[in-house]
Amino acid sequence: MGRPKRAVRPLRDGRFAFEVAVELKIFVAQLAEELSGVLGQDAPMLRRLFPTAYPDDPERDAGYQVFARGELIEQRQAAIAEVRSTVDSDVLTLTQLTAWMKTVNDLRLVLGTQLDVSEDQPAELDDDDPSPDAMHIYHLLGVFLEEIIDALSKA
């Protein structure tokens, strides 16, 4: 008996099989749409998407944020648009799969911020957790991201 076929895997022509469950693709696209609607806001949940460049120099960091934030938002919006346009696809180009990777990573960063996940406080599933669904989604996004990265690393 051989290894099960991966849902995301490189193909010989440079593209990628993207045979992910339709429900997962639609769910990620819906979350991405929600993220798209708040990207321009100054919401605490977005802090990991726009990290401090100069932690010891608030004035210099403010200048960086003014300069870089718009471009970062544009890049994220472009990746989300790519996810929307390929949600029904079973084969993706490198550019398209990279957009999925970026979007899933951004969603995971935002959700991790909301759950207060950090290197000091790793994400753990706990039966007493008041937000078990959010933690399950966080882990699901992590598994999906890992599969995408694995496929990209084998291309």
3 lies in some domain: no
- Note the residue count of the chain: 155
Task: List pLDDT tens digits, range 111-139.
Answer: 999 998 877 655 554 555 556 788 999 99
Task: List pLDDT tens digits, range 13-38.
Answer: 999 999 999 999 999 999 999 999 99
2 lies in some domain: no
Q: Among residues 144, 141, 145, which one has the least CA distance to residue 133?
A: 141
CB atoms within 10 A of CB 138: 20
115 lies in some domain: yes
Which range of residues forms the domain containing residue 78? 8-153
Is the per-residue pLDDT at 3 higher than 60? Answer: no
CA distance linking residue 8 with residue 60, whole number of Å = 41
Is the per-residue pLDDT at 154 higher than 90? Answer: yes
Q: How far is CA 66 from the centre of its chain?
A: 23
**Residue 126: predicted pLDDT:** 54
**Residue 60: predicted pLDDT:** 92
> How many independent structural domains does the chain possess?
1
1 lies in some domain: no
CA distance linking residue 67 with residue 31, whole number of Å = 27
% of the chain residues with pLDDT over 90: 75
Task: List pLDDT tens digits, range 98-108.
Answer: 999 999 999 99
Is the per-residue pLDDT at 69 higher than 70? Answer: yes
82 lies in some domain: yes
57 lies in some domain: yes
